[in-house]
Amino acid sequence: MGSPGSMRTRAAAAVAVAGAMTLVVGCSSSDDSATGGGKKDGKVVITMGMYGVMGIKETGLLEQYEKENPNVEIKEEIAGDEQTYYTALQTRLAAGKGLKDIQGIEIGRAKEITETQADKFADFSDVTGTDHFLPWKESQISTGDGKVLGLGTDIGPMAVCYRKDYFEQAGLPTDREEVAKLWEGDWDKYVEVGRTFKKGFKGDKVSYMDAASGLFNAMVYGYPEQYYDEAGELIYAKNPVVKEAWNLAADAADDGLTAKLRQFQPGWDPGLANGTFATAVCPAWMLSHISEKAGEANKGKWDVAKAPKGANWGGSFLGVVEQSPVKEEAKKLVAWLTAPEQQTHIFKEIGNIPSSGEALESDQVKNAKSEYFNDAPIGQIFGAAAQEIPDKQVLGRKDGTIKDTFSQGLVLIEQQGTPRDEAWKTTAERIEKAVG
């Protein structure tokens, strides 16, 4: 045991301990955990966190902004699924680390953000030129004391997408005006048309509608108050609107009018491709999904008709986090991205309906037609539907979660054959767990 040997052991031991320490410390000091971009080599780096197809990257707007502002570099990260995205956002907000300069906020989360995280988002109320939004859109992301935590991207006015060829086979009218007349004014009539469809359609492989949850959402979102009242109290159990929607959706399920699918889940996509259902209640942003999944083979078979009643399902906001090192630049970018011209551009490219009243009024939006949907004048249909959306939209803290829970409750009726009262009870218990 000479001293060179012990030197080596000692050195090795030191390295081993140091290695272990870096392993532990390394986790908390990597660059990823810093918030936002910053200024690098004279360039302003703005980071963005988004989800799904918000149309901002997909339609080339970020590149355009970089071209017009050569000193700005934008780095975006897009999560596929909003639920995953929001969970990560919550974790990062709690840790105060790893946030992007700009963060997307889905409408179902808006209330939770304004209630619990208001101090972590920058205020937009001092930004000029943002008075072009629909009045209710801005109020959804505002706090009680007048802080505006973000600017709106799209909204989700509704229509009904239907298969023209199936309607013809079932002996129903196929023209979109006439189809809209069949159920004008009342969702009950939409279900009634389904009964006629079922009787008239030869063959049993095609259901009238995709899922009971689609109908339920369309009905509930047609009213100013859904699951919460203005005071923030949970009122879904005594809100007649919710019960009425639940019962009608359950009727549709009981009468075998639905394809028993879960929207946006894998079984739904092949259902679109193989045409296993004739109608789907479709918010504007769903059109791009339908055309993509139903594919070229079904082009021209789908059409869009006015929904029985106006409603708003979905829509997002862009917010800027308070601790962002490039807050002002990020706010400028958000204001630009949500300006009427850009919203119009996104609409033309992928069909997301603008939340800007000014954009909605523009000829480009009004006269837009969808080639895939048999040249349906989607600008007019959804524009008119947007006007029908109640001027006040009361949001609640757990809207997103409650919506998902109700969708599952309807699946209980559709797929498990659970009686509706029992399914309602189960849903109520789950909501209590999720909210309390």
Partner 1 sequence: MATSTTKALAGEEPPGPPRKTGGEGTVRRRGRLLHRLDIKGAPYAFIAPFFVVFAAFSFYPLVYTSWISLHDVELATLDVMEWVAFDNYVDLWNDSRFWNALRNTITIGVISTVPQLMMALGMAHLLNYRMRASLFFRVASLVPYATSVAAAALVFTMIFERDFGMINWALGSVGIDPVNWEADKWPAQAAISTIVIWRWTGYNALLYLAAMQAIPADRYEAASLDGASRWQQFTHVTIPGIRSTIVFTIVLSTIGATQLFGEPLIFGQGPNGITGGADNQYQTLGLLLYEEGWKNYQMGRSATVAWAMFLLLVLAFAVQRLIKRLRSRTS
Chain residues in the site for partner 1 (CB under 8 A)? 1, 6, 9-10, 12-14, 16-17, 19-21, 23-24, 81, 83, 87, 90-91, 93-95, 112, 116-117, 262, 264-267, 270-271, 274, 276, 401, 404, 407-409, 411-412, 415-416, 418, 430, 433-434
Kindly state the tokens that stand for 90. Answer: 């919550």
Instruction: Return the number of the residue (215 or 411) whose C-beta is nearest partner 1.
Output: 411
> 399-411 vs 240-254: helix axis angle to the nearest 10?
30
- With a CB cutoff of 8 Å and minimum separation 6, the contacts of 317 are 104, 105, 107, 110, 140, 141, 149, 150, 151, 152, 153
> Looking up tokens 């934008």, which residue turns up?
74
Instruction: Return the number of the residue (358 or 404) whose C-beta is nearest partner 1.
Output: 404
- Give phi and psi for 112, each to the nearest 5: -60, -40
Least Å distance, CB 247 to partner 1, is 18
Least Å distance, CB 331 to partner 1, is 23
Q: Is residue 203 exposed (0-12), middle (13-18) or buried (19+ Cβ within 10 Å)? A: exposed
Instruction: Return the number of the residue (57 or 430) whose C-beta is nearest partner 1.
Output: 430
DSSP 412: I
Q: Which residues of 357-381 are buried (b: 16+ CB within 10 A; e: fewer)?
A: bbbbebeebeebebebbbebbbbeb
Least Å distance, CB 20 to partner 1, is 4
- How far apart are the C-alpha atoms of 185 and 190, rounded to whole Å? 9
Least Å distance, CB 264 to partner 1, is 7
Instruction: Return the number of the residue (33 or 408) whose C-beta is nearest partner 1.
Output: 408
Least Å distance, CB 108 to partner 1, is 12
Instruction: Return the number of the residue (9 or 71) whose C-beta is nearest partner 1.
Output: 9
User: 47, 40 in Cβ contact below 8 A?
Assistant: no
Q: Are strands 207-209 and 277-283 parallel, antiparallel or unpaired?
A: parallel
Q: Is residue 417 exposed (0-12), middle (13-18) or buried (19+ Cβ within 10 Å)? A: exposed
Least Å distance, CB 411 to partner 1, is 4
Closest Cα to residue 133, out of 303, 269, 283, 318?
A: 318
Instruction: Return the number of the residue (23 or 231) whose C-beta is nearest partner 1.
Output: 23
Instruction: Return the number of the residue (124 or 406) whose C-beta is nearest partner 1.
Output: 406
Instruction: Return the number of the residue (237 or 434) whose C-beta is nearest partner 1.
Output: 434
Least Å distance, CB 206 to partner 1, is 12
Instruction: Return the number of the residue (264 or 336) whose C-beta is nearest partner 1.
Output: 264
> 399-411 vs 107-116: helix axis angle to the nearest 10?
140
Tell me the C-alpha to C-alpha distance, in Å, between residue 55 and each of 134, 291, 425: 19, 16, 39
Instruction: Return the number of the residue (8 or 75) whose C-beta is nearest partner 1.
Output: 8
C-alpha atoms less than 13 angstroms from C-alpha of 284 in its C-beta half-sphere: 37
The size of the chain, in residues, is: 436
Least Å distance, CB 283 to partner 1, is 18
Closest Cα to residue 289, out of 338, 378, 352?
A: 352
Least Å distance, CB 271 to partner 1, is 7
Least Å distance, CB 354 to partner 1, is 28
Least Å distance, CB 318 to partner 1, is 19
- With a CB cutoff of 8 Å and minimum separation 6, the contacts of 36 are 46, 47, 99, 100, 101, 321, 323, 324, 325, 326, 330
Instruction: Return the number of the residue (148 or 412) whose C-beta is nearest partner 1.
Output: 412
Q: Is residue 282 exposed (0-12), middle (13-18) or buried (19+ Cβ within 10 Å)? A: buried
- How far apart are the C-alpha atoms of 353 and 348, rounded to whole Å? 9
